[in-house]
């Protein structure tokens, strides 16, 4: 359905647009963007006081399907995505069976088509069965629609195999996404090796278990002659940031992501064994958090990703040692960044849109990330003033495992559009909310 | 005063003082019949091997006139797949008035404490906390006339895996005592050292400063897990032997949470020499004895509602 969005402020870093704009959407694409388009023959939506920008893209989520449908499905995860302002997500390969061949890639894309909410880009495994022993069929998966490769959840410990995978992925021009963790150094740990983790008497994960592998992967990437895309997942510590800075100064082709929880929380959040704060990599010290924030501001880290990792309440209800790693993030990520980075002046909205839409689109090599004419009409509208209290009971995700429950946040997405179709409107998700309104109805409704 | 005794971090000095004064009373009036747990059933469930601590708690219950219910892991429902929280929640319905619990996983006791509805007392929790041990240590030192605010405690051994050490990280500062930790670097990461305390990797350098030398048990499995090259090597570098005894202050006290690995933490000869000193400096036996009075005091405080 065609539509004119007017009265809102548009932030589109790729187009260099920052201010009032009217956006004409026709046949699922942005047809024109202008201060004033004059009379047009389509219904219009009044967005006074609202902010519009390209749909958010999360390069790192776990949708659990196939095999883990009790934790999340492609449909429930996609609903959580559009509820949180995301128009596309890239889902990791650690499902059951893992995404290590074209069949699973095809299955995920088919389920995502049926869910008909966010775009879902499968990430294929680097190694068969995520076992870290032999290469998975990267070309075959790429042909079927995989948009990157990763054994996320576990590292490729064998450096020769990792290098081979990077070489294989190179001509495909798809990123190799590395979960940097030396398993011998991590040694079964569950909390950061800081003063708080040690006080709890739990086995610890030292920061060097991550940074040593960051260094390795940067050096491996350097052997590829400036080609190939290395992307470092969920960086958590200051050492990794320093290595990334060093690599970029030398011209290594490497990008990195950081999660909202590593940007905003520290090991103290674990408090007395709170499993809602158990994730891998773990929450680290305040100096690490500060380094990550600084790297995000400097653009050394160019992507914010959630590492959305849903689990069932009874799994997270186990004792801290045995509860699974992971927190969800799709429905909290943007309001967290808005409230803690935009409102505080730490980051401009243009920069944040780069980190959450433009850079992710470029990493995956997918459409979106901009609303320049000719782009798909994938966009999000937020209400900068609306305040919410995070309440996991109302998540679309099947997961409830968030460390942000009870936080009061602003910058709530109120409309998410994919391909010109409204998928979320004021918290209601198409196909999920019984009273999801038609576009005609939405365009007639006034504030 | 908190409702449970899980970690000494939750306690003020006044709280501990209250408990220790009770312990002193029970010790002074040993042999008297107390009835503060009359008609009360105290469940004891230890999910880790223990003889001494368990016995100590059982005696404490009996001396206060209470009845012990043993919840033996081997015959309980965990093996049937029933989770511990469910099992524990039936304890209250069965008429238990408190639970004394030991488990090998840090955080496990915290987890079951959420909906148990009766006082829960830790009998030792993984590498996390062993609150009654730290309390009985403080009791023992004060009984010996030690002025804790002028005391330097040198703690030697497997600090990384020690719940006793982690309880003392809270107890000793409350009483103003100094603490210096000694262990090989593998067992003593600097992040573990609490603020205000010192640490060293060289036992001989710090021994002369110690008013109390507190030895921690070094378990054999540390060697099998590759944290120590051998226990003999540990004993040679960090064990208390005859030669190192000469470095001790004349009036230094020696403590250990037990059971002692003679030949590892302390050499056989060193132990014999110390035990033959005219004034008793080795407090191992006193620690065990006082354990019962301190645990009586804990039960009296948390379960009986402070009858005395």
Residue spans of alpha helices (H) in chain B: 13-28, 52-63, 84-93, 108-113, 131-143, 163-174, 203-206, 221-224, 231-238, 242-245, 268-275, 284-302
Tens digits of residue pLDDT in B141-165: 999 999 999 999 999 999 999 999 9
* Residues A214 and A147 both lie in one domain: yes
* Residues A92 and A200 both lie in one domain: yes
**A44-46 vs B212-215, strand pairing mode:** unpaired
Q: Name which residue leads in pLDDT, A447 or A330.
A: A330
A53, β-bridge pairs? A380
Q: Is B134 contained in some domain?
A: no
Which domain does A428 fall in, by range?
Answer: 3-52+375-397+404-444
* Residues A96 and A168 both lie in one domain: yes
Determine contact, residues B91/B70, Cβ cutoff 8 Å: no
Q: Residues in chain A whose beta carbon is closer than 8 A to a beta carbon of chain B?
A: 193-195, 197-202, 204, 272-273, 318-322
Q: How far is CA A169 from CA A90, A136, A154, in A?
A: 17, 11, 19
Tens digits of residue pLDDT in A112-152: 999 999 999 999 999 999 999 999 999 999 999 999 999 99
For residue A141, the surrounding DSSP H or E stretch is helix A138-144
Contacts of A200 in chain B (CB under 8 A): 106-107, 128
* pLDDT for residue B308 is more than 50: no
The token pair at B223 is 């060697």
* pLDDT for residue A34 is more than 80: yes
Q: Is A60 contained in some domain?
A: yes
CA separation for the pair A342, A323 (Å, rounded)? 34
CA separation for the pair A278, A267 (Å, rounded)? 9
Long-range contacts of A267-273 (CB under 8 A, 24+ apart): A267/A191, A267/A192, A267/A194, A267/A195, A267/A196, A267/A197, A268/A196, A269/A403, A270/A191, A270/A196, A270/A197, A270/A200, A270/A320, A272/A200, A272/B7, A272/B107, A272/B110, A273/A200, A273/A319, A273/A320, A273/B106, A273/B107, A273/B110, A273/B111
* pLDDT for residue B11 is more than 60: yes
* Residues B149 and B272 both lie in one domain: yes
Could you tell me the CATH number of the domain that includes residue A189? Answer: 3.20.20.140
Q: B106–A202: do the CB atoms touch at under 8 Å?
A: yes
Q: Is B302 helix (H, G, I), strand (E, B) or coil?
A: helix
Tens digits of residue pLDDT in B107-118: 999 988 887 889
* Residues B294 and B255 both lie in one domain: no
* Residues A343 and A390 both lie in one domain: no
Mean pLDDT of the region B48-56: 91
Q: Which residue of A has its CA nearest to B105?
A: A321
Tens digits of residue pLDDT in B167-213: 999 999 999 999 999 999 999 999 999 999 999 999 999 999 999 99
Mean pLDDT of the region A412-424: 97
* Residues B149 and B232 both lie in one domain: yes
Nearest to B127 among A201, A273, A319 (CB): A201
Q: Is B135 contained in some domain?
A: no
Q: What is the number of other CB atoms lying within 10 angstroms of the CB of residue A103?
A: 13
Nearest to B105 among A197, A199, A319 (CB): A319
* Residues B115 and B205 both lie in one domain: no
Tell me the average pLDDT of chain A.
Answer: 97
Q: Is A263 contained in some domain?
A: yes
Active site residues of A: 307
Query: Given this model, what pLDDT does residue A168 score?
Result: 97
* Residues B278 and B293 both lie in one domain: no
* pLDDT for residue B77 is more than 80: no
ipTM over 0.90: yes
Q: Which residue of A has its CA nearest to B130?
A: A201
Mean pLDDT of the region A189-198: 98
Taking the CA atoms of residue A273, residue B45, residue B79 and residue B94 in that order, the dihedral angle to the nearest 10 degrees is -110
* pLDDT for residue B78 is more than 60: no
Q: Is B32 contained in some domain?
A: yes
Q: Is B246 contained in some domain?
A: yes
Which domain does B36 fall in, by range?
Answer: 8-129+289-302
The token pair at A24 is 């004409």
CA separation for the pair A288, A336 (Å, rounded)? 19
Nearest to B191 among A195, A273, A318 (CB): A195
CA separation for the pair A20, A26 (Å, rounded)? 20
Query: Given this model, what pLDDT does residue B94 score?
Result: 86
Q: Is B3 contained in some domain?
A: no
Query: Given this model, what pLDDT does residue B82 score?
Result: 62
Q: Is A370 contained in some domain?
A: no
* Residues A439 and A300 both lie in one domain: no
* pLDDT for residue B306 is more than 70: no
* Residues A392 and A255 both lie in one domain: no
Calculate how close chain A gets to B251, using CA atoms only, in Å.
32
Nearest to B107 among A194, A195, A321 (CB): A321
Contacts of B191 in chain A (CB under 8 A): 193-195, 197-198
* pLDDT for residue A447 is more than 50: no
Contacts of A320 in chain B (CB under 8 A): 105-107, 111
Q: Is A135 helix (H, G, I), strand (E, B) or coil?
A: strand
Tens digits of residue pLDDT in A276-287: 999 999 999 999
Residue B219 — pLDDT band, cuts 50, 70, 90? Answer: confident
Could you tell me the CATH number of the domain that includes residue A414? Answer: 2.30.40.10
A6: phi then psi, degrees, rounded to nearest 5? -140, 160
* Domains: count for chain B: 2
Determine contact, residues A332/A84, Cβ cutoff 8 Å: yes
* Residues A44 and A136 both lie in one domain: no
* Residues B294 and B261 both lie in one domain: no
Of A43-47, A138-142, A230-234, the poorest mean pLDDT is in A43-47
* pLDDT for residue B232 is more than 90: yes
Q: Is B16 contained in some domain?
A: yes
Q: Is A369 contained in some domain?
A: no
Query: Given this model, what pLDDT does residue A14 score?
Result: 98
* Residues A436 and A329 both lie in one domain: no
Residue B249 — pLDDT band, cuts 50, 70, 90? Answer: very high
* Residues A284 and A389 both lie in one domain: no
* Residues B125 and B215 both lie in one domain: no
* Residues A204 and A308 both lie in one domain: yes
For residue A416, the surrounding DSSP H or E stretch is strand A408-418
* Residues A25 and A67 both lie in one domain: no
* pLDDT for residue A35 is more than 90: yes
Q: Is B1 contained in some domain?
A: no
Contacts of B169 in chain A (CB under 8 A): 199
A271: phi then psi, degrees, rounded to nearest 5? 45, -130
* Residues B123 and B222 both lie in one domain: no
Residue B126 — pLDDT band, cuts 50, 70, 90? Answer: very high
* Residues B166 and B265 both lie in one domain: yes
Determine contact, residues B183/B201, Cβ cutoff 8 Å: yes
* Domains: count for chain A: 2
* pLDDT for residue A48 is more than 90: yes
Q: Is B175 contained in some domain?
A: yes
Could you tell me the CATH number of the domain that includes residue B149? Answer: 3.40.50.1370
Mean pLDDT of the region A75-92: 98
Half-sphere exposure at residue A255, Cβ-oriented, CA atoms within 13 angstroms? 21
**A408-418 vs A379-389, strand pairing mode:** antiparallel
Q: Is the pTM of this model over 0.80?
A: yes
* Residues A100 and A203 both lie in one domain: yes
* Residues B263 and B297 both lie in one domain: no
Mean pLDDT of the region A93-120: 98
* pLDDT for residue A445 is more than 70: no
Q: Cα dihedral sign for A36, A39, A43, A45?
A: positive
């Amino acid at each position: 359905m065609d539509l004119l969005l007017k009265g809102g402020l548009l932030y589109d870093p790729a187009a260099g647009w920052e201010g009032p704009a009217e956006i004409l959407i026709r046949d699922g694409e942005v047809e024109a963007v202008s201060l004033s388009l004059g009379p047009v023959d389509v219904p219009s939506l009044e967005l006074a006081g609202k902010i519009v920008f390209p749909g958010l893209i999360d390069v790192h989520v776990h949708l659990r399907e196939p095999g883990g449908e009790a934790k999340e499905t492609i449909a429930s995860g996609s609903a959580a995505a559009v509820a949180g302002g995301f128009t596309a997500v890239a889902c990791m390969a650690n499902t059951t069976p893992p995404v290590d061949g074209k069949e699973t890639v095809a299955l995920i894309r088919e389920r995502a088509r049926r869910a008909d909410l966010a775009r879902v880009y499968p990430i294929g495994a680097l190694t068969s069965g995520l076992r870290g022993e032999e290469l998975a069929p990267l070309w075959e998966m790429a042909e079927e629609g995989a948009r990157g490769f990763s054994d996320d959840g576990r590292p490729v410990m064998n450096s020769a195999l990792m290098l081979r995978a990077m070489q294989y992925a190179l001509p495909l021009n798809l990123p190799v996404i590395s979960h940097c963790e030396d398993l011998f150094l991590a040694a079964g740990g569950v909390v950061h090796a800081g003063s708080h983790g040690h006080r709890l008497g739990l086995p610890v994960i030292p920061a060097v278990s991550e940074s040593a592998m960051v260094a390795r992967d940067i050096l491996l990437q350097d052997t590829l002659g400036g080609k190939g895309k290395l992307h470092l997942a969920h960086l958590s510590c200051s050492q990794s940031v320093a290595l990334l800075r060093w690599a970029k100064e030398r011209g290594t082709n490497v990008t990195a992501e950081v999660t909202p929880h590593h940007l905003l929380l520290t090991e103290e959040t674990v408090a007395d064994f709170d499993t809602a704060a158990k994730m891998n990599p773990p929450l680290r010290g305040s100096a690490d958090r500060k380094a990550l924030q600084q790297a995000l501001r400097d653009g050394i880290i160019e992507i914010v990703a959630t590492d959305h990792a849903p689990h069932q309440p009874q799994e997270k209800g186990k004792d801290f040692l045995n509860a699974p790693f992971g927190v969800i993030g799709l429905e909290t990520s943007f309001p967290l960044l808005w409230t803690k980075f935009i409102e505080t002046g730490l980051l401009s909205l243009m920069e944040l849109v780069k980190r959450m839409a433009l850079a992710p689109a470029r990493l995956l090599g997918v459409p979106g990330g901009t609303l320049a004419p000719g782009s798909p009409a994938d966009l999000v509208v937020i209400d900068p003033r609306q305040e919410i209290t995070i309440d996991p009971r109302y998540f679309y995700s099947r997961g409830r495992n968030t460390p942000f429950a009870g936080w009061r946040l602003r910058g709530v997405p109120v409309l998410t559009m994919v391909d010109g179709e409204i998928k979320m409107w004021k918290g209601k998700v198409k196909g999920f909310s019984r009273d999801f309104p038609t576009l005609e109805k939405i365009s007639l409704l006034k504030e | 005063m908190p409702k449970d005794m899980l970690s000494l971090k939750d306690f003020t000095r006044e709280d501990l003082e209250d408990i220790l004064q009770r312990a002193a009373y029970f010790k002074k009036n040993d042999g008297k019949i107390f009835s503060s747990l009359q008609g009360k059933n105290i469940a004891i469930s230890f999910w880790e091997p223990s003889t001494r601590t368990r016995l100590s708690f059982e005696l404490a219950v009996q001396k206060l006139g209470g009845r012990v219910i043993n919840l033996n892991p081997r015959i309980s429902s965990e093996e049937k797949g029933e989770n511990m929280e469910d099992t524990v929640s039936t304890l209250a319905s069965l008429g238990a008035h408190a639970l004394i619990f030991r488990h090998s996983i840090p955080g496990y006791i915290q987890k079951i404490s959420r909906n148990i509805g009766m006082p829960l007392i830790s009998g030792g929790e993984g590498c996390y906390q062993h609150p009654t041990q730290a309390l009985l240590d403080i009791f023992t030192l004060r009984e010996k006339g030690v002025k804790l605010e002028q005391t330097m405690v040198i703690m030697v051994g497997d600090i990384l895996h020690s719940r006793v050490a982690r309880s003392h990280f809270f107890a000793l500062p409350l009483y103003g005592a100094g603490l210096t930790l000694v262990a090989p670097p593998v067992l003593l990461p600097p992040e573990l050292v609490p603020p205000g305390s010192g640490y060293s990797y060289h036992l001989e350098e710090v021994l002369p400063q110690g008013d109390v030398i507190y030895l921690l048990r070094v378990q054999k499995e540390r060697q099998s897990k590759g944290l120590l090259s051998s226990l003999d090597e540990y004993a040679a570098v960090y064990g208390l032997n005859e030669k190192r005894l000469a470095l001790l202050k004349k009036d230094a006290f020696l403590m250990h949470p037990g059971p002692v690995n003679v030949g590892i933490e302390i050499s056989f000869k060193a132990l014999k020499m110390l035990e033959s000193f005219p004034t008793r400096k080795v407090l191992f036996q006193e620690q065990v004895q006082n354990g019962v009075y301190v645990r009586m005091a804990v039960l009296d405080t948390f379960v009986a509602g402070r009858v005395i």
